[in-house]
Amino acid sequence: DQQVKQNSPSLSVQEGRISILNCDYTNSMFDYFLWYKKYPAEGPTFLISISSIKDKNEDGRFTVFLNKSAKHLSLHIVPSQPGDSAVYFCAASEVSWRGGTSYGKLTFGQGTILTVHP
């Protein structure tokens, strides 16, 4: 079962307009959410995050919204730029205990390919 889903494999947007990437989750134990951006042949780069106690976090052109009742997360990019064209992964974290130790286990969505046209 996929606990984190990005239902749109791709999104195409005009430069200067808003890009909205969506993510749904099913596990109510997730308490921290992140967005990563990935260019071809590079590793994922951390973009922005939000704790489950908040419903919005902003960083420059990027804003993440969290709707806990709907178990829905979205990333808004405004204005969109051609350099934003990449694959965007949402990820959700929960504390996982194994053998007496804990860590923040990340579960990733499948990714959304964003293309911003000049």
Partner 1 sequence: NAGVTQTPKFRVLKTGQSMTLLCAQDMNHEYMYWYRQDPGMGLRLIHYSVGEGTTAKGEVPDGYNVSRLKKQNFLLGLESAAPSQTSVYFCASSYSRLAGKSDTQYFGPGTRLTVL
- Where along the sequence are the contacts to partner 1 (CB under 8 A)? 4, 9, 32, 34, 36, 41-46, 49, 89, 93, 95, 98-99, 101-106, 108-111
- Measured from the CB atom, the residue of 79 and 94 that comes closer to partner 1 is 94
Q: Which two tokens stand for residue 55?
A: 């419903």
- Shortest gap between Cβ of 103 and partner 1 (angstroms)? 5
Sheet holding 4-5, edge to edge: 4-5, 19-25, 72-77, 62-67, 56-59
Kindly report the number of other CB atoms within 10 A of residue 54's CB atom.
13
In one letter, which amino acid is 17? R
- Measured from the CB atom, the residue of 83 and 99 that comes closer to partner 1 is 99
- Measured from the CB atom, the residue of 14 and 26 that comes closer to partner 1 is 26
